[in-house]
């Protein structure tokens, strides 16, 4: 079922990770991504991986979910692997040489594995943020973090509001899509088989009702917001304030120490590194 | 012969995630050919989930589903054939309409069955007729209709497939009294005319009692009972206990019994109540 896509979902909980200030979590998430891309050798990558696993254990989010979140990006990983495998030219003899066109070098293999693992870690690590932070907290934090941009007349509040609404309605729309698909299947719709064009055509009976109801919903939501006197971000207060405390600063410090270690690792053990790669 | 047979069917939503929820729990059940079965149960008791098993929209986590004695999940069964055999009308079915005209929308199902043009035309017109959709309405856009009309169009869309089993999930929900009456009595007429097996999910005891011969009561994903209407209301105390309503008139009769006027415990329609009260009064015990 569509509903079982777990990427970007929120799993309520009460772990330390759940309770961290969402602004800090976003900053740390960004730091994590940077870290992942600074790790230029396997040792660094493994270290980042272990760090991530530790965080997952602390958060209490199950491993099966994590693996599930990887499923939709498998094609991307496969493409990356293939590209790296075929296009990286190493210094030594190729392992496989078919007419001088397809050449696979040992470096190609190591790089593709490296890239695959890196993408997986990227998705798994970033997912932790959405798994443990409610959409409202997330957009709140983004609004707060971006608030300096308001001075440049950047519509921060509007952007955050749009994100909140989008996040709020994704599950609703997914549920609705599921329902409409079921209803059309009950009338014999054949949504799974056939070529691309046939499949696209078969989706019309799903898309039209979905759009009709999405527009209706948008209209109703706008009306409901209007009725409650919504008039943009100016002077708006919040029911739930974000609070940062000692634990957030400690978490940030831990992250910083880890980052520093990773950089040292990069400097002192460059031999496991990879000559060059296709991103 | 039983057309529907469920054997120990269990269904879990989002199995293997923290959101896992057992919606149907170890349900075994048989429905006879030509039966008009009402399904009732409080919100979330698993009615909608249960009926989606009958045309293969959901696959049981455990257990088997037989339609016409055939296991619908065995390899050599085409699941689409099962869906043509067991027509399912969803809750708020008007949301599934998508075509430019009512006619085209009703013909979507028959077209998927691969029928000939003439056959489709006959079926669409017959289905429209049995749901009281006038010729003039057939050429209108389904999005311009009223809620009740849309609902009837959606019903006609399934009926046009001429399924052996017609499953309806709250076909009258959200309609005004006239809309309700028109939808339900048309279903009942259809049943009488073609002898189709009908499963009707409803929250209204009154409706179920008026039309159904047997009642399936669901409670927390399990079958509480599946028996002829009379027998179900003989257990009215238990039914009230699981949070369901009995028909209003039955409650009146219950109250009367508590006051010492016993008219019998098998009264659930106003007509029968009237008979009994008149009988009772004829014996001269009141006034
Ligand atoms: N898509 C879904 N994902 C997860 N859980 C679901 C889903 N649909 C239903 N459930 C759960 O399964 C249980 C049974 O739901 P179901 O829709 O079958 O109930 P119902 O008897 O039809 O209720 P209603 O009378 O409100 O229509 C409920 O507890 C519900 O929360
Ligand atoms: Mg339901």
Quickly list H helices, A39-134: 42-59, 63-70, 74-87, 106-132
Say which of B89, B97, B157 has its CB closest to residue A209: B97
| pLDDT for the residue A5 | 58
Judged against a pLDDT cut of 60, whether residue A278 lies above it is answered with no
**Residue B183 and residue B147 in one domain:** yes
* pLDDT-above-70 percentage for chain A: 93
CATH of the domain at B69: 3.40.50.300
For chain B, say whether A209 makes contact (Cβ under 8 Å): yes
Cβ distance B18 to A62 less than 8 Å, yes or no, reads yes
Residues B9 and B62 sit within 8 Å (Cβ to Cβ): yes
B66 and B204, same domain (yes or no): yes
Residue owning tokens 């005319």: B193
Read off the pLDDT of residues A69-111 as tens digits, 9 standing for 90 and up: 788 888 889 998 888 888 877 777 777 777 777 778 888 888 8
Parallel/antiparallel/unpaired status of strands B2-13 and B197-201: unpaired
Query: Whose atoms come closest to the Cα of B43: which ligand?
Result: 1
Between the alpha carbon of residue B215 and those of residues A241, B190, B232, B236, the distances in Å are: 52, 19, 7, 13
Of all residues in chain A, the one with the smallest CA distance to B90 is A183
Q: State the ipTM, two decimals.
A: 0.86
B202 with B129, same domain?
yes
Counting from 1 in the atom list of ligand 1, the atom nearest the Cα of A178 is 1
What integer pLDDT is reported at residue B67 of this predicted model? Answer: 93
Q: Looking at residues A136-159, what average pLDDT do you find?
A: 88
Report the predicted TM-score, pTM, of the whole model to 2 decimal places. Answer: 0.76
pLDDT at B178: 86
Average pLDDT, rounded, for chain A: 84
Distance, in Å, from the CA atom of A185 to the CA atom of B273, rounded to the nearest integer, reads 44
Tell me, yes or no, whether B231 and B286 share the same domain. no
User: Is the CB of B161 less than 8 angstroms away from the CB of A187?
Assistant: yes
- DSSP line for B241-271: HTT----HHHHHHHHHHHTT----S---SHH
CB within 8 A of B85, min separation 6: which ones? B55, B67, B68, B163, B164, B165
A159 to A28, A68, A149: CA distances (angstroms): 22, 30, 12
Nearest to B144 by CA among B92, B90, B93, B94: B94
- Blockwise average pLDDT, block size 10, chain B, 287 residues: 91 82 93 94 92 93 92 90 93 90 95 94 94 92 90 94 94 86 90 93 88 92 90 81 83 85 80 87 70
Confidence at residue A139, expressed as pLDDT on a 0 to 100 scale:
87
Listed in sequence order, the residues at least 6 apart from B137 whose beta carbon sits closer than 8 Å to its beta carbon are B102, B128, B145, B149
Phi-psi region of A275 (alpha: psi -120 to 50; beta: other; left: phi over 0): alpha
Q: What are the strands of the beta sheet with B2-13, ordered from one edge? A: B21-32, B2-13, B62-67, B70-71
Q: Where does the pLDDT of residue A271 fall: very low under 50, low under 70, confident under 90, or very high at 90 and above?
A: low
Q: What is the pLDDT of residue B252?
A: 86
State the distance from the centre of ligand 2 to the C-alpha of A175, rounded, in angstroms: 14
Q: How far apart are CA A130 and CA A12, in angstroms?
A: 10
What pLDDT band is residue A277 in, cutting at 50, 70 and 90? Answer: very low
Considering the domain architecture, whether residues B252 and B172 belong to the same structural domain is answered as no
Residues whose beta carbons lie less than 5 angstroms from ion ligand 2: B 48
- One domain, residues B146 and B252: no
Q: Which atom of ligand 1 is nearest to the CA of B91?
A: 27
Asked if B86 and B124 count as a contact pair (C-beta separation under 8 A), the reply is no
Which A positions 45-64 lie with beta carbon below 8 A of chain B? 62, 64
What percent of chain A shows pLDDT beyond 90?
Answer: 20
Residues at CB less than 6 angstroms from ligand 1: A 3; B 13-14, 21, 23, 41, 43-49, 91
Q: Which residue in chain B has the smallest CA separation from A192? A: B80
Give residue B214's region: left, alpha or beta (phi > 0; psi -120 to 50). beta
Helices A135-146 and A22-38: crossing angle in degrees, nearest 10, is 80
Q: Which of B9, B22, B45 to mutate to test the pocket of ligand 1 (most atoms within 8 A of CB)?
A: B45
> A184 in contact with B at a CB cutoff of 8 Å?
yes
Of all atoms in ligand 1, which is nearest to the CA of residue B203?
A: 25
Q: How many domains does chain B have?
A: 2
The span from the CA of B3 to the CA of B32, in Å, is: 6
The residue that leads in pLDDT, A44 or A249, is A249
The H-or-E segment that residue B56 falls in is none
Residue B274's domain comprises 247-287
How many C-beta atoms lie closer than 10 Å to residue B185's C-beta?
A: 13
> Minimum-distance ligand to the CA of B41?
1
The reply to whether B239 and B274 lie within a common domain is no
Residues B255 and B236 reside in one and the same domain: no
Cα first-last separation, chain A:
33
Whether the CB of B93 is below 8 Å from some CB of chain A: the reply is yes
Residue ID of nearest Cα to ligand 1 atom 4? B13
CB contact under 8 A, B16 and A64: yes
pLDDT in tens, A2-41: 555 555 678 888 888 899 999 999 999 999 999 888 877 7
| Six token digits for residue B178 | 């006239």
Angstrom CA distances, B34 to B5, B6, B37, stand at 14, 17, 9
* Most informative mutation of B48, B202, B204, B217 for ligand 1 (most atoms within 8 A of CB): B48
* CA–CA gap between residue B268 and residue B279 (Å, rounded): 16
Q: Cβ of A213 under 8 Å from any chain B Cβ?
A: yes
On whether both B61 and B177 belong to a single domain, the answer is: yes
Domain shared by B235 and B275, yes or no: no
Q: Which of A175-189, A198-212, A265-279, B96-110 has the lowest mean pLDDT?
A: A265-279
Q: Where are the domains of chain A?
A: 2-133+245-268, 157-227
CA distances from B225 to B22, B23, B218, B234 (A): 19, 17, 7, 12
Same-domain status, B187 and B274: no
Rg (CA), chain A: 23
Contacts of A205 in chain B (CB under 8 A): 96, 98, 108
Q: Are residues B183 and B254 in the same domain?
A: no
């Amino acid at each position: 079922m569509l509903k079982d896509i777990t990427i970007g979902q929120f799993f309520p909980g009460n772990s330390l990770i759940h309770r961290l200030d969402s602004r800090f979590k976003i900053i740390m998430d960004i730091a994590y991504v940077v870290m992942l891309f600074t790790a230029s050798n396997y040792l660094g990558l493994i270290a980042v991986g272990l760090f991530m696993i530790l965080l997952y254990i602390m958060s209490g989010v199950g491993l099966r979910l994590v693996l599930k979140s990887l499923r939709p990006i498998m094609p991307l990983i496969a493409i990356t692997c293939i590209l790296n495998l075929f296009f990286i030219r190493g210094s030594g003899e190729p392992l496989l040489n078919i007419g001088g066109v397809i050449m696979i070098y040992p470096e190609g293999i190591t790089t593709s594995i490296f890239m695959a693992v890196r993408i997986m870690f990227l998705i798994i690590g970033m997912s932790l943020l959405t798994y443990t932070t409610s959409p409202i907290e997330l957009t709140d934090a983004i609004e707060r973090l971006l608030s300096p941009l308001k001075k440049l007349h950047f519509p921060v509040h509007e952007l955050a509001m749009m994100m909140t609404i989008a996040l709020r309605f994704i599950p609703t729309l997914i549920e609705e899509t599921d329902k409409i698909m079921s209803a059309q299947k009950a009338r014999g719709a054949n949504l799974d088989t056939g070529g691309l064009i046939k499949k696209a055509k078969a989706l019309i009976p799903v898309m039209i009702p979905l759009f009709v109801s999405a527009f209706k919903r948008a209209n109703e939501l706008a009306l409901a917001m209007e009725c409650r006197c919504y008039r943009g971000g100016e002077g708006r207060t919040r029911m739930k304030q974000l609070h940062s405390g000692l634990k957030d600063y400690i978490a940030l410090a831990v992250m910083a120490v880890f980052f520093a270690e990773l950089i040292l690792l990069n400097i002192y053990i460059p031999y496991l590194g990879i000559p060059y790669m296709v991103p | 012969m039983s057309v529907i047979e469920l054997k120990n069917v269990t269904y879990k939503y989002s199995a293997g995630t923290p959101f896992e929820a057992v919606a149907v729990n170890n349900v075994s059940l048989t429905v006879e050919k030509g039966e008009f079965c009402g399904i009732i149960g409080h919100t979330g008791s698993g009615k909608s989930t249960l009926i989606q098993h009958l045309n293969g929209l959901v696959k049981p986590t455990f257990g088997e589903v037989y339609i016409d004695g055939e296991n619908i999940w065995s390899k050599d069964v085409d699941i689409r054939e099962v869906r043509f055999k067991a027509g399912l009308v969803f809750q708020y079915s008007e949301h599934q309409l998508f075509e430019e005209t009512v006619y085209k929308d009703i013909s979507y199902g028959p077209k998927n069955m691969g029928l000939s043009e003439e056959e489709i035309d006959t079926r669409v017109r017959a289905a429209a007729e049995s749901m009281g959709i006038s010729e003039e309405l057939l050429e209108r856009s389904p999005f311009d209709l009223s809620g009740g009309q849309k609902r009837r169009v959606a019903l006609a869309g399934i009926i046009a497939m001429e399924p052996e089993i017609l499953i309806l999930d709250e076909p009258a929900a959200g309609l005004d009294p006239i809309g309700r009456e028109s939808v339900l009595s048309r279903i009942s007429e259809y049943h009488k005319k073609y002898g189709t097996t009908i499963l009707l999910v409803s929250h209204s005891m009154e409706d179920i009692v008026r039309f159904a011969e047997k009642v399936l009561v669901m409670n927390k994903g399990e079958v509480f009972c599946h028996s002829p209407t009379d027998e179900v209301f003989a257990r009215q105390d238990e039914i009230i206990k699981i949070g369901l309503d009995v028909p209003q008139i039955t409650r009146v009769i219950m109250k009367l019994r508590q006051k010492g006027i016993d008219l019998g415990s098998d009264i659930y329609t106003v007509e029968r109540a009237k008979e009994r009260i008149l009988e009772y009064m004829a014996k001269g015990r009141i006034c």
